[in-house]
Amino acid sequence: MFDSPPSGAGTRARLVSSMVNLLQRRGLVGAGLTEILHDAEAPKGVLYYHFPGGKVELAIAAIEASVDWLVGALDDTLAKFDDPLDAFEHWIAKSGRRLTRTTFERGCPLAAVSLESSPHDKAMRAALAKAFATLRDRLASALVSHGYPHSEADGAAALLVAAYEGGLMQARVAGSIYPLMTACSTLVTLLRARRALTVS
Amino acid sequence: MFDSPPSGAGTRARLVSSMVNLLQRRGLVGAGLTEILHDAEAPKGVLYYHFPGGKVELAIAAIEASVDWLVGALDDTLAKFDDPLDAFEHWIAKSGRRLTRTTFERGCPLAAVSLESSPHDKAMRAALAKAFATLRDRLASALVSHGYPHSEADGAAALLVAAYEGGLMQARVAGSIYPLMTACSTLVTLLRARRALTVS
Amino acid sequence: MFDSPPSGAGTRARLVSSMVNLLQRRGLVGAGLTEILHDAEAPKGVLYYHFPGGKVELAIAAIEASVDWLVGALDDTLAKFDDPLDAFEHWIAKSGRRLTRTTFERGCPLAAVSLESSPHDKAMRAALAKAFATLRDRLASALVSHGYPHSEADGAAALLVAAYEGGLMQARVAGSIYPLMTACSTLVTLLRARRALTVS
Amino acid sequence: MFDSPPSGAGTRARLVSSMVNLLQRRGLVGAGLTEILHDAEAPKGVLYYHFPGGKVELAIAAIEASVDWLVGALDDTLAKFDDPLDAFEHWIAKSGRRLTRTTFERGCPLAAVSLESSPHDKAMRAALAKAFATLRDRLASALVSHGYPHSEADGAAALLVAAYEGGLMQARVAGSIYPLMTACSTLVTLLRARRALTVS
DNA sequence: ACCAGCGGGACTCCCCGTTGAT
DNA sequence: ATCAACGGGGAGTCCCGCTGGT
């Protein structure tokens, strides 16, 4: 889910991929260019050739790449399950396994940057807002097309995203997937119950 | 809610308070000592007198102060309402107003640090884990004592915290309280429905 | 006088012309290749096609172009006046007007480079030395052919150039043409008096 | 004349002194902080302790120190000679010797910066303008008090400064003191003649 | 105990002038 | 004539000790 996008051949792609990786672990401020460059095995000057806007432009590219990748993965998962709530459970379970496997080092590539950004970082926040909006839209329309009441789908989508982000945050600092898992499975239970009610 | 703790007179308190403030806006890495010192109107040497551990020790103090303050505010709110879900709604509404008032500059003092931290920052993560756990416990026991099924209270508490943190994140980058509000009111609706079911 | 040479059509000429322009405003070190390329609307690689020696070779070309242009303008002016001192006064007046018009941004294309250069920049200093020598010679021979004592013409020519360069320097930092004007008109007065004496 | 000011004990003074030195040789843009720090044997952080404004603030301090030192030396020289023109000749002769001794590496600490500065560097140009004005005033009043016509003293002072700066520029690139010497001795001759006329 | 001056480098992001392969 | 890559500095700022006075 939150692996780097497949790390295409070119230098530019390697830069983006390294940035995504660091964004997940330390956020934008914590991500040193030196480190990015080092692990993309790219020399210094290359960055400003591909991203004249420097760190921020690279970060935005990384966010966009992440979101493309997330949406792709999300669509795949939704397609595999008849019920979007099943898909969500699957997604969460997978996240939990990855979290354990990587010893809670990496989170969502959008989250840390979001919290570090200020209203003055217009471009940054715009990219992030668009990213979250896209995710919510995908979830909402999946919910609707599977019988969830139309008027409540937006709220449920925002809540799903929030539960995921907020659960991940608690899980990482706790060094345990428990907060993520309980929060999300509680949510799924609640949503199922809700749908059952409105359907009947 | 997330204002700085009352900023006691002493130098040490002013340092902590400045740190809390910056944590909400930029996270730990983004918080420069120079800036902290400047806005606490404290000279350089003072920091290492009060916090020999430097920046990190100050940050931990800031987190603890924040959590004390949060728990206090939470308890007050819970006490004012018969139903903890009403209390939560009130809390969210207040957060929304503050968010608008401060033009989406400040978030939760725990959140950004959480996402920047790595598993190696043991002390940091321990403080954060304890902080979140405390909040969850408070919420869970309030839920239980107001009729929410015991076996599901932990999950609901984790979900409440997650919804808040995740909603806040989406709201800040969107520059709109909408994602926070819908996510949370959806959650409240769901929880009320659930309780109605189990009570009957 | 110190406008760029007419900026011939070709890419090469545009490069030289941009360089001249920047030399007048910031000197050689201050002139970034990126900026030159940008304002000549030329891609990066082009420079090394036309000037394999890089920045320095371009600068030398710019100096030579400047000097050609200066000598041309000087000869024209001298031709227009019977007395070279009248010509000098005219030149200075024109410089003053341009200075005001351009808000004291631009100076002589030779001056800044001269002061930044070190004895080790042989080619650079040679080009500059030749440039100044040419200007002095032109002035000296004009003086001689208009009755100025032969033995003192070289000194007077060097002094004229110096007064111009030194006056320009003072004028630019002062943001006022006054130092340039007084210095030069004083000099003209002195030279006229001298000539009057020796002629009689 | 163009030695660094006596290089007082403190770190700050050493920084200023190094800056003065580099200003004479390469101008402000050409003066790397690294080099300055190296030859002042000071670490980086110290600079921003003494000069929070960074390079520019240090440069302004260097200009002010230079001017103080120049004015001091000028006053001393003027005091040693009855006639200010004798003093000027002496000054020039000394400059010429130093030029030769240092193989034309160093010039006036004010000159290069002046030519690199733009109208937008307000503080810089103000410091420079003040510096030149001070020098002119000193010279003008010396001239007046030794019989030079009051109404022409300002012009003569500006011309003396210009001749010096412009002569130095030509001399350095030529690798020969000749342009400086002839320009200045010509000027002295002219001024003497002028004074003789008006006195009688 | 509390505070402050002064200093110390490593590290930040950025951009420079430059070259091979195409 | 051009694109992509190259590293080495550019200035600036980081977080952090010493030493000494109160």
Per-residue pLDDT reduced to its tens digit, A13-64: 999 999 999 999 999 999 999 999 998 999 888 999 999 899 999 999 999 9
CA-only gyration radius of chain D, Å: 18
Sign of the dihedral defined by the CA atoms of residues A151, A152, A153, A158, in that order: positive
Q: With contact defined as beta carbons under 8 Å apart, do D79 and D139 qualify? A: no
Chain E footprint positions (protein CB, under 7 Å): 2-21
Reported as a single tens digit per residue, the pLDDT across D132-156 is: 999 999 999 999 998 888 999 999 9
- Distance in angstroms (rounded) separating the CA atoms of residues C59 and D177: 25
Give the N- to C-terminal CA distance of chain C in Å, as an integer. Answer: 35
* Percentage, residues of chain A above pLDDT 70: 94
pLDDT of residue C14: 92
Tokens of B85: 């879900």
CA–CA separation, D122 and A190 (whole Å): 66
Q: What is the pLDDT of residues D53-106, one digit of tens each?
A: 999 999 999 999 999 999 999 999 999 999 999 999 999 999 999 999 999 999
In angstroms, the CA B180 to CA B2 distance is 15
Residues of A in contact with B182 (CB under 8 A): 154-155, 158-159
- E20 C1' to C128 CA distance, Å: 34
Determine whether the interchain pair A193/B190 forms a contact, defined as Cβ–Cβ distance below 8 Å: yes
Give the gap in angstroms from C-alpha C196 to the nearest C-alpha of chain D.
Answer: 12
Residue D6 has pLDDT above 60, yes or no: no
Report the pLDDT value the prediction gives residue B138, as an integer from 0 to 100.
95
SS3 state at A53: coil
Determine the pLDDT at residue D122: 93
Please indicate whether, in this complex, the C-beta atoms of B162 and A161 are within 8 angstroms of each other: no
Closest Cβ–Cβ partner in B129, B155, B182 for A183? B155
pLDDT digits (tens, 9 = 90+) for B51-80: 999 899 999 999 999 999 999 999 999 999
CB C47 within 8 A of CB C68: no
How much is the CA Rg of chain C, to the nearest whole Å? 18
Chain C touched by D119 (CB under 8 Å) = yes
Residue B42 tokens, joined: 């404290």
pLDDT of residue A17: 94
At B9 the pLDDT is 55
DSSP state at residue C32 = -
What is the residue whose two structure tokens read 């340092």?
A: B15
Q: How far is the CA of C34 from the C1' of F14 (A)?
A: 30
pLDDT of residue D9: 52
pLDDT score for B66: 96
Choose from C46-60, C172-186, D49-63 the range with maximum mean pLDDT.
C172-186
Nearest CA in chain A to B107: A115
Of A8-17, A118-127, B127-136, the least confident: A8-17
Residue A101, pLDDT > 80, answer yes
Cβ–Cβ below 8 Å for B183 and A128: no
Question: For residue A4, what pLDDT band results from cuts at 50, 70 and 90?
Answer: very low
Query: Do the beta carbons of residue A2 and residue A92 sit within 8 Å?
Result: no
The pLDDT assigned to C6 comes to: 44
Checking if the pLDDT of B18 tops 50, the result is yes
Residue-wise pLDDT tens digits, D91-131: 999 999 999 999 999 999 999 999 999 999 999 999 999 99
Give me the pLDDT at residue B100, please: 97
A41: left (phi over 0), alpha (psi -120 to 50) or beta: left
What distance in Å separates the CA atoms of residue D56 and residue B115, rounded to the nearest whole number?
Answer: 39
**Is a pLDDT exceeding 70 seen at residue C4?**
no
- pLDDT of residue A8 exceeding 70, the answer is no
What per-residue confidence (pLDDT) applies to B5? 43
Q: What share of chain C is helix, strand, coil (3-state, %, to 5)?
A: 75, 0, 25
* Residue range C47-68: mean pLDDT, rounded: 94
CB C119 within 8 A of CB C125: yes
3-state helix, strand and coil shares in percent for chain B, rounded to the nearest 5? 80, 0, 20
For the cut 70, the answer to whether the pLDDT of residue B178 exceeds it is yes
Q: Choose, out of D35, D60, D134, D170, the residue to mutate when testing the contact with C (most C CBs < 10 Å).
A: D170
At residue D199 the predicted structure's pLDDT band, cuts being 50, 70 and 90, is low
